[in-house]
Structure formats: structure tokens, C-alpha cells
């Protein structure tokens, strides 16, 4: 049984999502009108996944808010959104969002996606595959060899960046200092030729250095 918490600004939308989620394999663990109001409710909801409808939100700003909330690093987050700009989609997946689906998703598709993210998989609409995973683009050109390969520790840090973990969380997981994490992140950016953590994750995916 997958316990799903829903977030949507409209009560009608939340009711519609609950109707879609009625199945033997899914239970609605609670709902909220916004990310802010969901914060305290989620502590007691024991949810496995959070389903967020982005109707009425400005896509880029909303994705940024979801990323900054840290929620994707704690729970399997599924976004229902109209087509997102490439950068926003990459940022969402890079921060740990497990699925980005069109708002027109069917009940069967939604339930299948929830089953997938609960199993640790990433789900995107077929129309977004090229934007999410550039290696599948017809115009994709393989990247050249790295001048200096990532160390084992740097590979571990990159994988955790892809999972949406912050520096403090990485430090705890690896039993190292926050300063050391910053050093590893800087080294990863330099070796991959990336300017941001999100770009590093994207390049890591293209190079097969990140396991999805």
C-alpha cells in the first residue's frame, strides 16, 4: 500500500486527485493547499510520496520553491505540471523529484507512476525525455573523455547530489566534514566543466556517472 499526500491550491483539484488515487494499492495520507501548510501535516502523515499539482503557479518559480523546500530529499515527490522549461525540468530531477507528469495524466498512468517512484525509479512523460535525458536526443553528441576522472569519493558525492542531498546531509552520510564536502563538490564541478550542481548532475547523467 502506497500512502500519498496531495498538495494543490484548489479544493476541487485536491478532491479530483483523491478520486484518481482511489485504488487498492494507494491510500490518501492527507492533503494541503500549499507547500507551506503541508510542512507540519507531513510530519504525522507517514506518507511514501507527495503528489503536487502546479495549477496556477509560475513554473520556474514553483520548481525553485519545491527544490529549496528540501522535500524531494525526504519523500518521493511527483509533480503534475504543464510542460516545464528544460532548465526547470532538469533542476527538479537534479534535486530529487522522482516524477514530472502532465496534468492530463490518466488514472492508470498516475498509479503506475506512483508504483514506480515508490520503487526508486524516475518517471517523466515521453515528450520530456529529450529535455530530461539529453543522451536520448537525436542530435546528441557524446562528450569527450574527462581530462581527470572522478575519484571514488567524488563519484559518491555526485550520486548524492543527484539524489537531492545538501552538503550537511552528504557530510553525515559519508562521516566527513562540511568543508570536505565543499572541496569534493568544487572538484566535481571542475572536472565535469560544470558551473552549478544541477549542471554537474546533468553532465554526470550524460556520461553515465549517475545511476538513476
| Residue 184 confidence (pLDDT) above 90 | yes
186 close to 197: Cβ distance less than 8 angstroms? no
Per the prediction, the chain carries an average pLDDT of 83
106 contact partners, CB below 8 Å, separation of at least 6: none
What's the DSSP call for residue 170?
H
Cβ atoms of 9 and 34 within 8 Å: the answer is: yes
- pLDDT at residue 7, rounded to an integer: 92
CB neighbourhood size of 88 (10 A): 22
Contact 49, 21 (CB under 8 A): no
CATH of domain 152-206: 1.10.10.10
CATH class entry, domain 2-132: alpha beta
Counting residues of the chain whose pLDDT is more than 70, the rounded percentage is 90
Distance CA 192, CA 148 (A): 9
Backbone angles phi, psi at 7, to 5 degrees: -130, 125
Tell me the chain's radius of gyration from C-alpha atoms. Answer: 18
For 43, the enclosing helix (H) or strand (E) is helix 35-45
Range of 117-126, 136-145, 179-188 with top mean pLDDT: 179-188
Residue matched to cell numbers 487498492: 24
pLDDT of 177 higher than 60: yes
Instruction: Give the rounded distance of the alpha carbon of 29 from its chain centre.
Output: 20
Intervals of CATH 3.40.50.2300 along the chain: 2-132
Distance CA 14, CA 12 (A): 5
26-58 per-position pLDDT tens digit? 889 899 998 888 888 888 888 889 999 988 888
Rounded to an integer, what distance in angstroms lies between the CA atom of residue 117 and that of residue 77? 8
Mean pLDDT of 116-137: 68
Comparing 133 with 162, the larger pLDDT belongs to 162
Residue 141 has pLDDT above 70, yes or no: no
> Which residues of the chain does CATH 1.10.10.10 include?
152-206
- List of residues 6+ apart from 164 with CB closer than 8 A: 67, 70, 72, 73, 94, 95, 96, 97
133 has pLDDT over 60: no
Intra-chain end-to-end CA distance of the chain, in Å:
23
Closest by CA position to 114, among listed 208, 12, 22, 16: 22
Cell 572541496 belongs to 183
Amino acid at each position: 500500500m502506497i500512502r500519498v499526500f496531495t498538495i494543490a491550491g484548489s479544493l476541487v483539484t485536491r478532491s479530483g486527485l483523491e478520486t484518481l488515487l482511489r485504488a487498492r494499492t494507494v491510500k490518501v495520507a492527507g492533503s494541503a493547499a500549499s507547500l507551506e501548510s503541508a510542512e507540519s501535516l507531513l510530519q504525522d502523515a507517514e506518507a511514501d510520496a507527495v503528489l503536487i499539482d502546479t495549477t496556477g503557479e509560475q513554473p520556474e518559480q514553483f520548481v525553485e520553491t519545491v527544490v529549496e523546500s528540501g522535500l524531494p530529499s525526504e519523500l518521493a515527490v511527483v509533480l503534475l505540471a504543464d510542460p516545464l522549461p528544460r532548465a526547470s525540468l532538469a533542476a527538479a530531477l537534479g534535486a530529487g523529484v522522482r516524477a514530472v507528469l502532465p496534468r492530463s495524466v490518466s488514472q492508470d498512468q498516475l498509479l503506475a507512476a506512483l508504483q514506480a517512484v515508490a520503487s526508486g525509479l524516475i518517471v517523466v512523460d515521453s515528450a520530456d525525455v529529450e529535455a530530461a535525458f539529453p543522451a536520448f536526443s537525436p542530435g546528441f553528441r557524446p562528450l569527450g573523455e574527462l581530462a581527470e576522472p572522478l575519484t571514488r569519493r567524488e563519484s559518491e558525492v555526485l550520486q548524492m547530489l543527484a539524489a537531492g542531498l545538501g552538503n550537511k546531509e552528504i557530510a553525515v552520510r559519508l562521516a566527513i566534514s562540511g568543508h570536505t564536502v565543499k572541496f569534493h563538490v568544487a572538484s566535481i564541478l571542475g572536472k565535469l566543466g560544470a558551473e552549478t550542481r544541477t549542471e554537474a548532475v546533468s553532465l554526470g547523467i550524460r556520461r553515465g556517472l549517475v545511476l538513476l
